[in-house]
Chains A and B, each alone.
Chain A
Amino acid sequence: MGIYLEAAGLVFQPYVLAVIFCSAAFGMFVGAIPGLAATMATALLVPVTFFMDPVPAIAAIVTATAMAIFAGDIPGTLLRMPGTPASAAYVQDSYEMTKAGHPEAALGASLVFSALGGIFGTLVLITASPVLAEVALKFSSFEYFWLVVLGLSCAVFVSPGSPARGLVSLLIGLFAATIGIDNPAGAPRYTFGNVELYAGIQFIPAMIGLFAVSEVIRAFLARNETPKVANTRNASIFRQQFKNLVTYPVQAIRGSVLGTAIGALPGAGADIAAWISYAVSKKFSKTPKKFGTGHVEGLVEAGASNNGAMSGAWIPALVFGIPGDSITAIVIGVLYVKGINPGPTVFINDPQLIYAVFIVFLLANIIMLPLGWLAIKGAGTILSIPSRILMPIILMFCIVGSFAINNSPTGIIIMLVFGIIGFLMEENDIPIAPAILGLVLGPMLEQNFVTSMIKSQGSFLAFFERPIAAGLGIFTLVIWSIPLVLLLVNRGKSASVTPS
């Protein structure tokens, strides 16, 4: 107990609390701007943290990151411009809720269940991180291959409309991911000798193009024909979410658990977690048909999963110093500089520091609620701006955001091309979300497949030789065979019913 008090003493100081508050506001601002990612907020804070003590330094980054990730849902919900591939999983539902006049309900759900998922993940981090980290260390390329296939399968199965069209979208994303030279062979593909194309298609400009620019094109086509959104200002954000919690307790817990577990795997992360959770939610829902039409259920589960995964990513980072994503990589660097060397020894040498970090995690997720509430209230005013003024401004944000991701005009060109592709896809009822996941997971799929084949000297059986890989592999194959079996059974039935 003494150690916790000591840790609390490190956190509950005016200076540290002020740092937490300022970085929270900063994270909220960066995250809410379409096209800017949490990674950017973190990278910008690094030089500032050089001049701080360990606890406020970590507090600044952790708080800003947590805020930025939630705030990324704001442009997603209001303007269908998701901030991360993870939030692309449920952007259809949240945007439909906005169009139906309930943006605050959608954002409130994102906020509250993000916080719940984050708190759950932190509690797991505090109590069970050494055990979970051990499991995570058993994942090699064979296991990750199946996990990626599982994530991609979910994208196809949850996509509204026909799975065939979802598959077309996924394949577009996977193909775009092959461009560039960052592949296992290190060979240039589809670059036409252009150095900028060596870097491949960055997913953020592509995502801005597919979602936001296609929407801008549609707005320019329709001019004032877009229906005016009725903004329900009087509804209480938190009361609605309490109702959601009572209605969907299983979903919230399932999302948190699954998100934390997948997030703890350094090669997987929040992107896969949110998609798998959304698919799980739809699969076990009593009303799967409502998914994608502005239904809050998937939002609850995937939102909790998203932030659970963010907390989960700290498990291998703190226990073994293994970064799961660019944010944990930055923080591990800062920890080293501050003399806290991640690894099992940190729990023995500096337990009060680690517990202080845990307290900061909890605080960050709690402070998110009031600040998020303010942000939602403020952001709602965006919807009262007429689209003839709003759309050109959004277009400008898209341009700057696409530029900022690699500080290069190539990002804007990628955005433009994918804007047109996204527009044409939606004209043809091809969902765009699976393309994003294909683009993000394509490199992981290829990396894990090709390296596995090199290790196994070309034997496919190796994908089933390790226990966890075998389990995941069989599970994936079962998922894929169910719809095929159903198709055959249905065909058999309809053949016997219809007399020929």
Chain B
Amino acid sequence: MRATDLTLGILVLLGGIAIYVSAMGFEVIPGQSYGAGTMPRAIAFATIGVGLFIAGKALMAGDRSLGFELRDWVRSGRALFRAGTALVLIVVYIVAAPFVGFTPAALFVLLAGMLVLGTRPLPAIAISIVATIAIQQSFGRLLLVPLPRSDLFSFLW
């Protein structure tokens, strides 16, 4: 999904305006003329400038097309499904791990990921189990990262 130069310029410009508007509510440090709004405002001006530059350059080059060029993958339902899975798996982990604990959540993410990418089931199961235990042991035990505990697998802790 590639924006044309003019579109990108306009998007950047709008982003800059949005930052400027959102920064209007930030207060200054008491007794000073600078404060929380200084930096966002400076960023907003720079962003507006860059947006104008990109859009202006596109217009000067005679490129007036607006919108997005679609890449091949957008047309492939399977590719979109796989990429979507990667994102959904992250969300699944975020939601599930605090409840079920690290071990089952990680096992699920690894296994589902491998299956979607076309690994055969048996190797996928075996590798997922080994990888989960290896990650849990190295992070949880050796590096003392407080991964969410799962009581079902408490023997691993």
Asked, given contacts A178-B39, A396-B131, A446-B38, whether A187 binds B8 with beta carbons under 8 Å apart, the answer is no
Main secondary structure of the interface of A (DSSP, over half): helix
Is the beta-carbon distance between A217 and B83 smaller than 8 angstroms? yes
Q: Which residues of B contact A33 (CB under 8 A)?
A: 138
Q: Mark A430-464, 1 if CB is under 8 A from B, else 0.
A: 00000000000010011001100110001000000
Among A165, A388, A420, point to the contact of B119 (Cβ < 8 A): A388
Residues of A contacting B28 with CB < 8 Å?
185
* Chain A stretch 115-155: residues in CB contact (< 8 A) with chain B: none
Within A373-403, the residues touching B (CB, 8 Å) are 387-389, 391-393, 395-397, 399-400, 403
Q: Pick the residue among A171, A395, A442 that contacts B89 (CB under 8 A).
A: A395
A449 x B38 contact (CB < 8 A): yes
Question: Residue A223 contacts which of B1, B57, B82, B131 (CB distance < 8 angstroms)?
Answer: B82
Q: Mark B3-18, 1 if CB is under 8 A from A, else 0.
A: 1000010001000000
B1 in contact with A424 (CB, 8 Å)? yes
- A190 and B113 CA atoms in complex are apart in Å by 34
Asked whether B100 is an interface residue with its Cβ less than 8 Å from the other chain, the reply is no
Query: Which of B3, B36, B40, B47 has the most chain A CB within a 10 Å cutoff?
Result: B36
Measured between beta carbons, the chain A residues less than 8 angstroms from B57 are 164
Do A164 and B118 touch (CB < 8 A)?
no
Task: Give min CB distance, B147 to chain A, whole Å.
Answer: 7
Is the CB of B79 closer than 8 A to any CB of chain A? yes
Whether the Cβ atoms of A189 and B36 lie closer than 8 Å is yes
Query: Which chain A residues border B26 with CB–CB below 8 Å?
Result: 185, 187, 189
> Known interface pairs A389-B127, A400-B147. Does A175 touch B36 (Cβ–Cβ under 8 Å)?
no
- Across the interface, which residues of A come within 8 angstroms of B118, CB to CB? 223-224, 388
B32, A428: Cβ atoms under 8 Å?
A: no
Contact indicator B109/A392 (Cβ below 8 Å): yes
Q: Which residues of B contact A387 (CB under 8 A)?
A: 117
Q: Are B86 and A395 in contact (CB under 8 A)?
A: yes
Task: Tell me the bound Cα distance from A171 to B118 in angstroms.
Answer: 39
- Residue with the greatest number of chain A CB neighbours at <10 A, chosen from B1, B32, B127, B128: B32
Q: What number of A residues sit within 8 Å (CB to CB) of B? A: 61
At the interface, yes or no: B110 with Cβ under 8 Å from chain A?
yes
Contact with A along B133-147 (1 / 0, CB 8 A): 001001100011111
Q: Are B36 and A392 in contact (CB under 8 A)?
A: no
The distance in angstroms between the C-alpha atoms of A458 and B38, with both chains bound, is 12
Partner of B143 from the list A221, A223, A404, A424 (CB cut-off 8 Å) is: A404
Complex: A217 Cα to B114 Cα, angstroms: 14
Chain B residues, Cβ within 8 Å of A190 = 22
Q: Which residues of B contact A167 (CB under 8 A)?
A: 46, 50
Whether, in the assembled complex, B73 has its beta carbon less than 8 Å from a beta carbon of chain A, the answer is: yes
A168 within 8 A of B: yes
* Contact in complex: B113, A391 (CB < 8 Å): yes
Which chain B residues border A412 with CB–CB below 8 Å?
90, 93-94
- From A168, A175, A407, contact of B19 by CB (8 A): A175
Taken residue by residue from 88 to 122, chain B's Cβ proximity to chain A (1 for < 8 Å, 0 otherwise) reads as: 01110110011000000010011011101111000
Q: Is B54 an interface residue (CB 8 A)?
A: yes
CA distance in complex: A239, B24 (Å): 59
- Residue A44 at the chain B interface, CB threshold 8 Å: yes
Complex contact B46–A171 (CB within 8 A): yes
Q: How far is the CA of A419 from the CA of B40 in the complex (A)?
A: 23
Residue B153 lies at the interface, judged by CB distance under 8 Å to chain A? no
Q: Select which of A44, A395, A400, A427 is within 8 A of B113 by beta carbon.
A: A395
Using known A-B contacts A388-B114, A391-B117, determine if residue A220 contacts B85 with beta carbons closer than 8 Å. Answer: yes
* Residues on the A chain within 8 Å of B29, using CB: 184-185, 450, 454
Q: Which residue of B lies closest to A189 (CB)?
A: B36
Distance (whole angstroms) from the CB of A419 to the closest CB of chain B: 8
- Distance in angstroms from B77 CB to nearest chain A CB is 12
Q: Check: A486 CB closer than 8 A to any chain B CB.
A: no
Q: Is the CB of B113 within 8 A of A189?
A: no
Other than the known A187-B26, A392-B113, A395-B89, what 10 A-B pairs have Cβ atoms closer than 8 Å? A30-B143, A171-B46, A174-B39, A183-B36, A224-B118, A389-B127, A391-B113, A393-B110, A400-B106, A416-B91
Give B contacts to A, CB under 8 Å: 1-3, 8, 12, 19, 22, 26-29, 32-36, 38-40, 43, 46-47, 50, 53-54, 57, 71, 73, 79-80, 82-83, 85-87, 89-91, 93-94, 97-98, 106, 109-110, 112-114, 116-119, 123-124, 127-128, 131-132, 135, 138-139, 143-147
5 A-B pairs within 8 Å (CB atoms) are namely A175-B40, A185-B29, A222-B79, A416-B87, A454-B29
